Structure 1
Amino acid sequence: MATTWRRLTDRLNGKHDPEVLYEGLPDHLSVPVRQWSLKVMGNYVLVGVVCLRLRLPSSILNSRSPEEALANYQDKSNTMVFMEIVDALLAGLAEANPYTSGRYGVATRELRVELDYILTEGGSAYMVNPEGDGLCRRLNETLRESLDAAVQAADKQKQGAGAHLREAFAAAYGINPNPSVAYSQSVKAVEAVANPLFLPKSPEPTLGAVRSTLDQGRTKYEMVVQDRTGAPAGISAVVELLNLLWHGQRDRHAGGPTSQPVSQEAAETAVHAAALLVHWIATGAIRKK
């Protein structure tokens, strides 16, 4: 949960604007985050794995204390390097036995909670991701809850939509964002729940075909929510949201006059649009008349 504490001068001046979040590892976060990493490495054999995955200098593993060398590592040419180390440590923790406490008796869950507290209180732009296996950009609590609800609803369908949404989230908000993957996985998430429902007999179902089916069959479907007359609302909002998601993926085909890379902003929008569509479809908010 995000902190509500505000410094004295801000309270006295009536300042209520959200605090600007800090990228990388600013000075005030350096000591607590590095101390946290040392605690993690004291419990689990992760130094070698992190150094290999991040291609870090051999001087770390050749030092008298590789744990301390990694915990104090800096690279002036890469201000995000230590956040990448933290991200890799979280991945290593997720791969470790969740019931193993390590030689100091600290469980993996407690380590994740401790790090998330440090990052939140220090105003970091990053947080521990929902799976606990890495970092992601900090999200508004309401947006985070809507994504979680969509994933939970999708998981109950057992059609893979939840996994695609998780991939989309990680690609959009991870420490190394990939907008193209985020958008593609968002489309796949909607297809995973929509294709079996709206195109059960199609040999090659796609989101575009779902969009066309619903657009041409507006009189056959309705929403569980009511319109201004008290009758079930139409599905125009669904069709428009599908149109937005489908047409917005401008890198789906190369070489066209409107082809272009997916922007970070477009990817984040696609993730949340997909989450809403997945939630609606998975929970039966769209139904046949």
Structure 2
Amino acid sequence: MDNPALVVRAGLYSRSVTSKWIRLRDRLAGKTEPEPLWAEGIPDHINVPIRDWLYDVLRGFGMATPVAVRLKLPSKILQSRDPAAEISVLDDRMDPMLRVEVLDATLGCLHQATQGDWQDRQTVASYAQELEGILREGDSAFTVSEDSSGLEHRIDEALHATYGKAVEAGASKAQSAADHLRAAFNEAHGLKADPSAAYSRAIKAVEAVANPLFLPNEMEPTLGKVRSHLDQGRNKYEMVIADRNGAPANIDAVVAMISLLWHGQRDRHEGGPTTAPVTQEAAETAVHTAAVLVHWISAGSIRKK
């Protein structure tokens, strides 16, 4: 990396260095929980480092034009003497999400433009790490996505770790499972969430590992058929975890989770009496349920007797 300042800043804001820091007055008062996350736009206390980060990236990678076009910004911005500077301070009190969308669009354009060059990807990764550190230290409700292609809503670290383990386990069995799970997560937690797409991808992620294992000879396997297969063949399978008697537990929990996921997708078909749009809460639950199932199935937690 050619920019020494970036090296220093990336180190200061790295994921490994940042933590749930609590200020002194709160520690002295016995407070153990960090400050609540800022969900409305970019808070003032990180406005300057965000401005500097944007200017460095927009100027250094020539991203002002694609970002302005992607966000459909007024043409006067690109006609100004320094478009990168104009965009880096762009703000709208009536629309606090505009500044967040500028960050998201900048990451997206940067990710798209540097896919073919390994050295550029390394530099982009360092910039993404720096931005994530700023957002994290500033208690922002937004975080840089795993592939650095945009922003998403920050979720509990333990939950994110579970999701990461599921992606890793799924990839060991079927890359498509990992790809679907990543897409489902992004659709559920991205800035512009799509609950229906998230739910659909969650089901596909489970199907990618469950269909080959439980329905290897089925010409048109579905998660519904997997559910029926396991439901009717409960006595043929067991869990690696023990029940209260010390014997391998039955697969009732697995069948229940698959049933919940399968029946909960109420927008799969139109015109039925129970057809309904997928809510954001349902989509998030579906993605987390799928992550557990992908992990269990890929890791061999469900086995034949």
Q: TM-score, normalised by structure 1?
A: 0.94
Is the contact between residue 153 and residue 189 of structure 2 (CA under 8 Å) also seen in structure 1? yes
Q: Which runs of 5+ in 2 are unaligned?
A: 1-14
- The reply on whether 1:71 has 2:91 as its aligned counterpart is no
Which residue number in structure 1 is paired with residue 106 of structure 2?
Answer: 89
Which residue number in structure 2 is paired with residue 250 of structure 1?
Answer: 266
| Residue number among 166, 174, 180 corresponding to 2:190 in the alignment | 174
Is the contact between residue 167 and residue 182 of structure 2 (CA under 8 Å) also seen in structure 1? yes
Q: Deviations over 1:122-165 (max 9, x none)?
A: 01001111111111111211111111111111112235111100
Which residue number in structure 1 is paired with residue 152 of structure 2?
Answer: 136
Q: How does 1:1-289 map to 2 (within 5 A)?
A: 1=15, 3-23=19-39, 24-95=41-112, 96=114, 97-100=117-120, 107-289=123-305
After TM superposition, give the deviation of residue 98 of structure 1 in Å: 3.8
Q: Deviations over 1:24-64 (max 9, x none)?
A: 11222222111111111122121111112121111111111
What CA distance in whole angstroms lies between the structure 2 residues aligned with 1:68 and 1:107? 21
What CA distance in whole angstroms lies between the structure 2 residues aligned with 1:259 and 1:5? 46
What CA distance in whole angstroms lies between the structure 2 residues aligned with 1:75 and 1:27? 13
Is the contact between residue 25 and residue 82 of structure 1 (CA under 8 Å) also seen in structure 2? yes
Q: Which runs of 5+ in 1 are unaligned?
A: none
Is the contact between residue 170 and residue 178 of structure 2 (CA under 8 Å) also seen in structure 1? yes
Q: Secondary structure at the match of 1:268?
A: helix
What CA distance in whole angstroms lies between the structure 2 residues aligned with 1:78 and 1:217? 55
Q: Deviations over 1:82-140 (max 9, x none)?
A: 11111121122323134038xxxx92222111111100110100111111111111121
Q: Secondary structure at the match of 2:31?
A: coil
Is the contact between residue 203 and residue 223 of structure 2 (CA under 8 Å) also seen in structure 1? yes
After TM superposition, give the deviation of residue 229 of structure 1 in Å: 2.1
Counterpart code for 2:111? A
Q: TM-score, normalised by structure 2?
A: 0.89
After TM superposition, give the deviation of residue 77 of structure 1 in Å: 4.0
Structural RMSD (CA): 1.6
Instruction: Count how many residue pairs are aligned between Structure 1 and Structure 2.
Output: 285
Which residue number in structure 1 is paired with residue 9 of structure 2?
Answer: none
Give the 4+ runs in structure 1 shifted more than 4 A: none
After TM superposition, give the deviation of residue 242 of structure 1 in Å: 0.5
After TM superposition, give the deviation of residue 19 of structure 1 in Å: 2.0
